[in-house]
Structure 1
Amino acid sequence: MSAEAKIRTELKYCACCKGQTLHQVVNNKTDGKGTGRDLRCTVCGSARLGEIQGFDAALM
């Protein structure tokens, strides 16, 4: 592997762009309680901090 870190991206909905855009994974850590990673939109730069995952997200 090279010395450069891989930039991980995922396709997510962006509220500012009002559509699905690529989001860079800023922090891959989760708190273990249903709160996910920190993501940043690659188009407008808005953040999705601690997105809710799983069953809790379906209830909201």
Structure 2
Amino acid sequence: MINLSQSEPFASGGNRFCYRHPERSELCVKVMRPGRTAELLGRSSLVQNLARGIIF
């Protein structure tokens, strides 16, 4: 598990915060903003199709 509790994001967008990886500075870790996961999953056509039983 990656502990980001003492880190500040270097960037943020409408859906995620972006942090530098604590051990590998060439990588970033994207974390969903609180409360956005459920909303975005509700918009996903794949999730909606699975919920309706339409599986490809």
Larger Rg: 2
Bigger strand fraction:
1
Q: TM-score, normalised by structure 2?
A: 0.35
Bigger relative CO (Cα 8 Å, ≥ 6 apart): 1
TM-score normalised over the length of structure 1: 0.34
